Amino acid sequence: MHQDNWLYRLFQPAGPKSIPYARAAKIAFRTAHLMATNFLFGGHVFGAPLEQLRLLLYAAIFTGGGMIALEAYPSLGFLFEGWGVLLLGKLALLCLIPWLPGCRLWLLLGVVALAAVGSHMPARFRHYSLLYRTVIKR
């Protein structure tokens, strides 16, 4: 019964990917994302004018969204895992910058902190699913 429900299938742990060159695309998005967020953070730390940093902000949001899109196929289940929650948190903080320009440095510090925690936390937290209340095996 559940297997026929599209919503149930949408949030299942991801199976094998069938996107051609998905790994190369993930590496490209991650590299561009790291560059954009690092330059964006440095620009804010050293007081670059906001207009000069706007393109970097959009690049950081776009590349973060690209990484999410690649992970979302064929399942959105990763969004409930520890790393998925942190990834959405980072993207949300980046999206707040245009509306809270006075807090931009603190928001970017939050992005860096979430990225560091997400990249180095143990697998039992990184792949723990809040939806299934278990670690998703990869």
CB 85 within 8 Å of CB 14: no
DSSP state of 12: S
Amino acid (1-letter code) at residue 29: F
CB 88 within 8 Å of CB 61: no
* Local structure of 135: helix, strand or coil: strand
Which of 115, 104, 117, 128 minimizes the C-alpha distance to 40? 104
CB 63 within 8 Å of CB 34: no
Q: What is the pLDDT of residues 20-39, one digit of tens each?
A: 888 899 999 999 999 999 99
Residue 48 CA from chain centroid, whole number: 25
**CA–CA distance, 103 with 86 (Å, rounded to integer):** 20
The pTM for the full model equals: 0.77
pLDDT exceeds cutoff 80 at 104: yes
Mean pLDDT of the region 68-95: 87
